[in-house]
Structure 1
């Protein structure tokens, strides 16, 4: 048995991505951020759908169309394949713990 809230490092130079489970068409990962964000230039443009859930902490996702979504504990969002997005902000003073599910478009 494992716990999503266990083994969260105090210092994170980079975001931490850990695959929890993978099937033929689905991948689930835990992401830990602390003040991390995407580069100011460029967008994530994925060929798969992604569903994200913030378990603790907080984040702001920005989309190429100008929409911004603020996420806190319990908030979740589906990001459609090829919807260009970036992480604009994550809480700097505490870990933001995400659960991400990737699945085919």
Structure 2
């Protein structure tokens, strides 16, 4: 990968992009780029690892199964998702990039 985090962003409206930046035992770091994607109806992430995320550009609505309202995340917002805490992406805006830094870890 290019050494600039924002280099080589995918075309707007294309597929969501997941790019592994670093992997070590018990740790994985990814750059995720969304542009209008959201979780399929009824789908929930339910991961064995914890996930610490920060939105570096754009915005998104992330919903936890145990909360009534989605959280509206904007650039600079940080969230630590506990292992097995079911969550989904309700919305990312079409026509702009939402760029995430995701750190997956084993507690």
Bin for the TM-score computed over the shorter chain: over 0.9
Alignment map for 1:1-105 (pairs within 5 Å): 2-65=3-66, 66-105=68-107
The TM-score with structure 2 as length reference comes to: 0.92
Give the distance between the partners of 1:32 and 1:99, measured in 2 at CA. 9
Alignment length (residue pairs)? 105
Question: Which segments of structure 1 move beyond 3 Å, counting only runs of 4 or more?
Answer: none
Q: Where does structure 1 lack aligned partners over 5 or more consecutive residues?
A: none
Q: Where does structure 2 lack aligned partners over 5 or more consecutive residues?
A: none
Q: Bigger CA drift: 34-43 or 6-15?
A: 6-15
Give the distance between the partners of 1:42 and 1:73, measured in 2 at CA. 25
Secondary structure of 1:88's aligned partner:
strand
The TM-score with structure 1 as length reference comes to: 0.94
Q: Bigger CA drift: 43-52 or 62-71?
A: 62-71
TM-fit CA distance, 1:11: 3.6
